[in-house]
Structure 1
Amino acid sequence: MVFGAVAILALSGCSSSQGSTPVASGVLDTTFGSGGKVTTDLGSAADRAHAIAVQSDGKIVVAGSTQDPAQGDNFAVVRYSAEGVLDTTFGDGGKAVTDFGGKSDVVHAVAVQSDGKIVAVGTSTGATAGDDFAVARYTSDGKLDASFGTGGKVVTDLGTDADHANAVALQTDGAIVVAGSMHDAVQGDNFAVVRYTADGKQDMAFGDGGKTVTDFDGQADVANAVAVQTDGRILAVGTSAGTTSGDDFAIARYTSDGKLDATFGAGGKVVSDLGTTADRANAVALQQDGKFVVAGSTHDPVQGDNFAVVRYASDGKLDSAFGDNGKTVTDFGGKADIAQAVVLQSGGRIVAVGTSHGTQTGDNIALARYTADGKLDPSFGTGGTVSTDLGTQADHGNAAAVQADGKILVAGTTTDPAQGDNFALVRYAA
């Protein structure tokens, strides 16, 4: 199964009504928070949300970081009711903050286990061993889970000064798969995938002593998303930067024991050049038919970065039936339009979510919805796109989820002139 901020399963039961009055798709859901929006100040000038997950009871978990004057950035996990109200039964007044001892401890992905426990994954930067993978597990009431790792926390040094964890997926057997990168003195950054047992130990049956490392021959190969297929194989998705063709989409598939899957791409790897020197993949979603969708950005000399959504067949080949020979590109009019998340709705519809940087109103949250064949969906927003200005110069969409009723949740950051950066949570009609 797939969980977390950047790898999310499609949910069924899409609804486009609010009471008895139809609501257009992509419109802010005014029944949520204040006019469809919730902002949360965690008490610092740097409260930034990077990940989201929805519990089976409809409660919403948003994770990222908050800044402590003495400790630097710490893990921050916040839970809301299904209506967007802080859940005061969770943590300390709805919030749980965790320090790993690094100068900067930041959550990049979050997932909810079937037993209600919450797994937050990110990087602890600037500890004695450099940058390390960091994982925290919380009980359903927001306390660190003493049965996991050491007092609820696990820090993993992969043997370099730059080990960065960016994504998480949960296996049906309770194992936790974390993906990101580690630095090689010769090759530069490489994909790194680590599997943990349910109690937080590295799974020595996976890869080489619990981890697998993959080089795509780029100067920096970084996994930004991970998903576990129904057959147990693992997809890691990201960017291979600095290749002969510039930055390219990069995908690796592993068998359930952590070896590169020879039936996928070329020896388990796929590299996609979308025709520019800056093609970057940030998110993945699995379709029920075995195909999978990858979202990120590609660069246009005139427009700047645009949303890029690519669909692959189960063997790693581009799906020529999707968009323009496997890919679709969308410009929001910003100087840099970058998709950070992708989710699936009923009917095979695909929603890419991110930020349109440098518009007339500053940075805005951006969404694009596509039909199953990769065309912009005219029933969504304005011609298939939505740009949301929360009233500041810096509104960023970093993660997305789909609720059981088909409504779309976007988590990210908004900047308040007095408070600084705050968590932002926005909900759109289905």
Structure 2
Amino acid sequence: MTHRFKSLPLLALTAALAACGAPSPLPAPTAADGPAPSGITAQSVTPAPGSFVMLKALYFGSTSTRVRDVAVQPDGKFIVVGEGRDSGEDSYFGFIARLLPDGSLDPSFAKTGWRRLRKLWEDASCAICFPEYTLPNSKTPVTVTGVVIQGSRVLVSASARKEVDATFSHTIETRQQMVQAFRLSDGALDTSWNGTGVTQTTMGNAEVLSEANDVAVTGDRVFTGGYVNSSPMRPTIATFTNAGQLDKTFSGDGAHYLVLPDAEGGASASAVTVINTRPVVAGWVKHNNAQRMFLVRYKEDGTLDPSFGGGDGIVRPSYGLGDTVARAVQYNAAAGRIGVVGSSADPAGLVRFAVAKLLPDGSMDPAFGVGGKVTTAIGSGHSGANAVVMQPNGKLLAAGYTTSPDGKTDAAVVRYTANGSLDATFGSGGRSVVGQNDGHHELIRGMATLPNGKIVVVGDSGMYGLVGLLQP
């Protein structure tokens, strides 16, 4: 059965509404087979900063789609990754697609503009594996987490379920970290990556869950940040050479567990970025039943860099007593700043955007907010940031979701000035919110900047994936 890409054209919006008011509406979609529309709805006026100049709902397979992340090419085309699902299946497959600047599929990529990620049982190559693995031939849930461009190829981080034979009659389900590489020229698997285009890495023993949450690159290395669900959960960073092999000059084996003090409740690496040749990992650690944001930087040999933030090399932005997590981090060399975003609960339990800016040495930016930190409520419900863009002028974009009074989530983007105040020139009072009034949930999972300055956002809109362009 052939499952075609389905694109649902949506209204181009020219004004963003205030967070405290009704969000910009998404028209009710009507499914239609065939290629994506060839252009964007024409604008009669110059869109205001923070307005959506293009919105599209799309899906791959025949039912649900989730778009997880986006990476931009120098020519303005962009790569999106996520999961799709076929009718009658109870699990998702991973996909990668290349879109033209108008949001339509690029047929020069993988012949149709998109392709499925390779399934684990199609290739048993492992960086660290155990002989008792069996490779199931169906129902293998895949979670795609990140995408990054490195030269002439694109790398996708993900995790997938595997099964371990515990006895002859019992199997244990586990998850294994995975990176797949594709050629930008045509979308084919890049077999210079581990000989197959796929690496699979299990951290810990054969019976634990281990997921890669993000991926970043330098010229000669690839880093993934994630976790292993040991007791307690621990953050991980895996480092690969450009050939797709674990780089054993990093921490001795290339697969490193970060042991954090006061982490009796577990910890996870949510995101990774790079400053020059050194990876910076952001995430959360749980202590005294509360989650806390953290950042660390590694030296080239895989040891913690004590010059980052001083002291033990672990930076802990403090937002009070409520749960606080980091979900995205980005370093912008032109701005000379690290931006990190996530969520933080206030004393009343309301979850807000949590945003921090740091200098490259790990110190908090004293010019941003209070001590380098701000929190932002969007409307009266919970909200959280999943994606960040540090702009060269020092402004920072955070994107994620806000909860409306009816309990559904709407996609939200906030822009801050270099000093941490809401940028009044963006959207309505610094906020741009978009959603439907039909009970569907919208949220943004990934964000990047196009060469023309526009901001591309990706995420979910009900059962569809969401791709949009924001006027900067």
Letter in 1 for 2:291: D
CA distance in 2, matches of 1:322, 1:245: 29
Q: Please give the residue correspondences for 1:337-348 in structure 2 after superposition, counting only pairs within 5 Å.
A: 337-348=383-394
CA distance in 1, matches of 2:177, 2:254: 13
CA distance in 2, matches of 1:80, 1:120: 16
Picking from 226, 233, 249, the partner of 2:278 is 233
1:125 matches 2:174: no
CA distance in 2, matches of 1:314, 1:212: 23
TM-score between both structures, scaled by the size of structure 2: 0.79
Deviates more, 1:311-320 or 1:193-202: 311-320
CA RMSD of aligned residues (A): 2.1
CA distance in 2, matches of 1:134, 1:314: 29
Deviates more, 1:37-46 or 1:199-208: 37-46
Picking from 36, 50, 53, the partner of 1:26 is 50
Matching residue of 1:108:
145
Matching residue of 1:246:
290
1:306 matches 2:352: yes
Residue 315 of structure 1 and its aligned partner are, at CA, apart by: 2.9
Distance verdict in 2 for CA 1:71–1:394, change over 3 Å: closer
Residue 414 of structure 1 and its aligned partner are, at CA, apart by: 1.1
CA distance in 2, matches of 1:412, 1:210: 31
**5+ residue gaps in structure 1?**
1-17, 30-35, 416-420
Matching residue of 2:34:
none
Picking from 299, 304, 310, the partner of 1:260 is 304
CA distance in 1, matches of 2:104, 2:113: 9
CA distance in 1, matches of 2:50, 2:282: 27
1:423 matches 2:459: no
Residues 134-164 of structure 1, C-alpha deviations (whole Å, 9 max, x = no match): 1111112222222222521111111241211
Any idea what SS the aligned residue of 1:22 has? coil
Letter in 2 for 1:256: E
CA distance in 2, matches of 1:258, 1:277: 32
Q: Please give the residue correspondences for 1:319-358 in structure 2 after superposition, counting only pairs within 5 Å.
A: 319-358=365-404
**Whose radius of gyration is greater, 1 or 2?**
2
Letter in 1 for 2:278: R
Matching residue of 2:12:
none
1:67 matches 2:85: yes
Picking from 223, 232, 236, the partner of 1:177 is 223
CA distance in 2, matches of 1:361, 1:158: 38
Residue 303 of structure 1 and its aligned partner are, at CA, apart by: 6.7
Picking from 330, 334, 350, the partner of 1:285 is 330
Is this contact kept in 2: 1:303–1:331, CA < 8 A?
no
CA distance in 2, matches of 1:177, 1:325: 29
Any idea what SS the aligned residue of 1:272 has? coil
Deviates more, 1:118-127 or 1:220-229: 118-127
Residue 67 of structure 1 and its aligned partner are, at CA, apart by: 2.5
Residues 186-217 of structure 1, C-alpha deviations (whole Å, 9 max, x = no match): xx111111111112111111113012211223
Is this contact kept in 1: 2:322–2:346, CA < 8 A?
no
Task: Give the structure with the higher percent strand.
Answer: 1
Residues 359-411 of structure 1, C-alpha deviations (whole Å, 9 max, x = no match): 44821110100001111000000100011114552111000001112111110
Is this contact kept in 1: 2:150–2:219, CA < 8 A?
no
CA distance in 2, matches of 1:163, 1:361: 32
CA distance in 2, matches of 1:280, 1:84: 32
Letter in 2 for 1:119: L
Q: Please give the residue correspondences for 1:191-230 in structure 2 after superposition, counting only pairs within 5 Å.
A: 191-216=235-260, 217-218=262-263, 219-230=265-276
Picking from 204, 209, 230, the partner of 1:162 is 209
Picking from 251, 265, 275, the partner of 2:320 is 275
Residue 92 of structure 1 and its aligned partner are, at CA, apart by: 5.2
Letter in 2 for 1:106: T
Q: Which has the higher contact order (CA 8 A, sep 6+)?
A: 1
CA distance in 1, matches of 2:388, 2:320: 22
1:396 matches 2:443: yes
Matching residue of 2:15:
none
Is this contact kept in 2: 1:303–1:334, CA < 8 A?
no
Number of aligned pairs? 396
CA distance in 2, matches of 1:127, 1:344: 40
**5+ residue gaps in structure 2?**
1-41, 122-135, 165-172
Is this contact kept in 1: 2:332–2:392, CA < 8 A?
no
CA distance in 2, matches of 1:81, 1:261: 40
Is this contact kept in 2: 1:51–1:399, CA < 8 A?
yes
Is this contact kept in 2: 1:62–1:77, CA < 8 A?
yes
Residue 47 of structure 1 and its aligned partner are, at CA, apart by: 1.3
TM-score between both structures, scaled by the size of structure 1: 0.87
Distance verdict in 2 for CA 1:361–1:80, change over 3 Å: farther
Matching residue of 2:31:
none
Distance verdict in 2 for CA 1:82–1:110, change over 3 Å: same
Is this contact kept in 2: 1:303–1:333, CA < 8 A?
no
Any idea what SS the aligned residue of 2:151 has? coil
Residue 51 of structure 1 and its aligned partner are, at CA, apart by: 0.6
Distance verdict in 2 for CA 1:391–1:85, change over 3 Å: farther
